[in-house]
Amino acid sequence: MAQPTRLGGNALLAFILGFPILAGLAGTVLPAFGYLPALGGFDVTLAHFTELARQPHILRSVLTGLAAGLLTTVATVAIVGTFVAGFAGTPVFTRIQHVVSPLLAVPHAAAAFALAFLVAPSGFLLRLISPEVTGFTRPPDWLLPNDPLALTMVAGLVTKEVPFLFLMMLAALPQLALLRARRLAAALGYGPVAGFVVCLWPALYRQIRLPVFAVLVYSVSTVDVAMILGPQLPPTLPVRVTQWAGDDDLGARFLASAGAFLQLGVVVAAMATWIALEWVGKAALARVTFSGRRFARDGALRAAGALAMTGCAATIFAGLGLLTIWSVAGLWPFPDALPGNLTPKTWMRTLPQIRHPLLTTIALALLAAAFALVFAILLLHRNGAGGGQKSAAGYRLLYLPLLVPEISFVFGLQVLMLSAGVAPNFASVLAVHFLFVLPYVLLSLSAPWRELDPRFEKIAAGFGRSTLEILFTVRLPLLFRACLTALAVGFAVSVSLYLPTLLVGSGRLATITTEAVALSSGGDRRVIGIYALVQGLLPFLAFLVASLGPQLLFRNRRAMRT
């Protein structure tokens, strides 16, 4: 019997990820060119772009965001690259890896709040040394955070993007001949960093290139981090687009769409700049390689890399500790280093209200991550373990939702779902969460999936087992830990989604994150502290389960507890 033509995994992926994004983009692009019938926009016009160009200081908003995004990406790649080059394969590496990994679970907004509480003139660091060292009895009038060059924002973004890129590099490392290359480079007299860069960096970078672009797009387009830490006069373009989208004057919606379209252009410009930087880097690397210079004494550079890595972790952990103290603080005036009295009042008041959004958050995150995992397994299975060139093209599609700025398509998506008669309910929000969660789940599962030694399956096939039997009895049990990790990653992504949850759910579905952002507009640090803690604790628990799960399930099979 002839096999029916299989729908290729890539085509399926393209449809599931591509269709909603393209449709959402259409819902943004059409109003940008004047088409939005509900507001009387029937004519195609460039007037809204003219209006956009006339917005005061628009060029500066564009350039600040673009520069901050590029700087963040350069710094992130430099920090993670230096650290990996200097330490991959050493015990220090493993130790720092354990400190940095949990940071992936902390939502961007929570990390930004944490940093702001630390460095502000009325923040913890100054309280700690005031008035004894500084003589300040009142906070000094320093412009920090929200500095005009967006350096605090870059610092905030870097602390959050470093763990992401680091984990992406970790996934790619096993495919490099690390130890052999290290020995060879050392024998030739190279320092660890230079040896790694010359021998292994090009191969490593090829694998992490798309995650680097994801970092770039996120940094250029961020809204929540920019609102907390970024410059305010003027704010970056994505923040302004969000403001226009929420303007009382509904006519500003055309302007917002034009701005969202411009943001798409900014992202493209950022990518083009990055590609140019890649060429420069490539040429520089070639020069260094051919120059034969060994850079043997790189102790300071390696120390700087390790320091920067641990610094990111220390900042966020200290900030989270501070949020914890704020959540139980009574009155806490400057320059007291600690609150005068502690009270559980805020927790007592907040906990009963947290229950319902908490259940919604967990249900959404668990289901979205589980569906994404099942779908990812199906897709990887269809593509075959080898993957090869064809599936590599497919994996690039995964980055589609990460490479299109959220703000450029979520409003359009909302209009689309309503037009299709989809009610704003749990199921439709779940569908959108799935869309955002799937890429991350697939990304974190695909590397271990490709790595698994194909000989296990060949042996099983030799015993006459069917493909499905092999999948369930050999591959999945061997990849159990990887599956759990992918599930935890998906869980974390779902927990942190704000704009899609709010817009597609019409605000009816309250999650911890939507509540946290709504409350942050009220500015009470105590309540912000509680929500940020719960928001960060959830994914942390998911990762804990992922790391303990295999130990419990396979407690009598030592070899599978990896």
Partner 1 sequence: MYRRAGQIMAAALLAFCIAGKASATDPGNWEAVVAEARGQTVYFNAWGGSENVNAYIRWAGDEMKARYGVSVVHVKLDDTAKATATVLAEKTAGKDEGGSIDLVWINGENFAAMKRAGLLYGPGWATKLPNWRYVDYETKPTVLTDFTIPTDGLESPWGGAKLVFFYDSARTKTSDLPDSATDLLKWAETYPGRFSYPQPPDFTGSSFLKQVLTELVDDRAKLQRPADDATFAADVAPLFAYLDKLTPLLWRKGKAYPQNYADMKQKLADGELDIIFAFNPAEASSAVANGELPETVRSFVFSGGTLANTHFVAIPYNASAKAGAFLLADFLLSPEAQLRKQDPKIWGDPTVLSLAKLPASDRSAFERLDLGIATLRPDELGPALDEPHPDWMTRIETEWIRRYGAAN
Binding site for partner 1 (CB under 8 A): 36-41, 56-57, 60, 121-122, 138-139, 141, 143, 146-148, 231-234, 243, 245-251, 253, 330-334, 343, 345, 349-350, 353, 411, 414-415, 418-419, 423-424, 502-503, 506-508, 510, 514-515, 517-527
Residue with tokens 């085509």: 11
Please give the C-alpha separations between residue 84 and each of 60, 140, 178, 315, in angstroms, as whole numbers.
Answer: 35, 39, 11, 20
Q: Closer to partner 1 at the Cβ: 37 or 386?
A: 37
Q: Smallest gap, in angstroms, from Cβ of residue 539 to partner 1? A: 22
DSSP bridge partners of 41? 36
Q: Smallest gap, in angstroms, from Cβ of residue 540 to partner 1? A: 25
Q: Smallest gap, in angstroms, from Cβ of residue 53 to partner 1? A: 14
Q: Closer to partner 1 at the Cβ: 191 or 231?
A: 231
Q: Smallest gap, in angstroms, from Cβ of residue 61 to partner 1? A: 9
Q: Closer to partner 1 at the Cβ: 277 or 519?
A: 519
Instruction: Give the tokens for residue 451.
Output: 């790595």
Q: Smallest gap, in angstroms, from Cβ of residue 520 to partner 1? A: 7
Q: Smallest gap, in angstroms, from Cβ of residue 366 to partner 1? A: 23
Q: Closer to partner 1 at the Cβ: 37 or 464?
A: 37
Q: Closer to partner 1 at the Cβ: 146 or 535?
A: 146
Which secondary structure element, helix H or strand E, spans residue 494, and what is its range? Answer: helix 480-496
The total of other beta-carbon atoms located within 10 Å of residue 289's CB is 14
Q: Smallest gap, in angstroms, from Cβ of residue 264 to partner 1? A: 20
| Contacts for 174 with CB less than 8 Å, ≥ 6 apart | 447, 451
Backbone angles phi, psi at 342, to 5 degrees: -105, 145
Rounded Cα distance, 358 and 356, in Å: 5
- In contact, 116 and 229? CB cutoff 8 Å: yes
- In contact, 527 and 346? CB cutoff 8 Å: yes
| Contacts for 518 with CB less than 8 Å, ≥ 6 apart | none
Rounded Cα distance, 405 and 18, in Å: 14
Q: Closer to partner 1 at the Cβ: 182 or 525?
A: 525
Q: Smallest gap, in angstroms, from Cβ of residue 485 to partner 1? A: 33
SS3 of 442-485: HHHHHHHHHHCCCHHHHHHHHCCCCHHHHHHHHHHHHCHHHHHH
Sign of CA dihedral 248, 253, 258, 264: positive
Q: Smallest gap, in angstroms, from Cβ of residue 419 to partner 1? A: 4
CA 277 from chain centre, in angstroms, equals 22
Q: Please calculate the CA angle 531-147-304 and round it to the nearest 5 degrees.
A: 80
Rounded Cα distance, 150 and 147, in Å: 5
Instruction: Give the tokens for residue 498.
Output: 């704000």
Instruction: Give the tokens for residue 464.
Output: 């006459």
Q: Smallest gap, in angstroms, from Cβ of residue 510 to partner 1? A: 6
- In contact, 408 and 264? CB cutoff 8 Å: yes
Q: Closer to partner 1 at the Cβ: 159 or 346?
A: 346
Helix, coil or strand: residue 384: coil
Rounded Cα distance, 77 and 96, in Å: 17
Q: Closer to partner 1 at the Cβ: 174 or 330?
A: 330
| Contacts for 299 with CB less than 8 Å, ≥ 6 apart | none
Q: Smallest gap, in angstroms, from Cβ of residue 441 to partner 1? A: 29
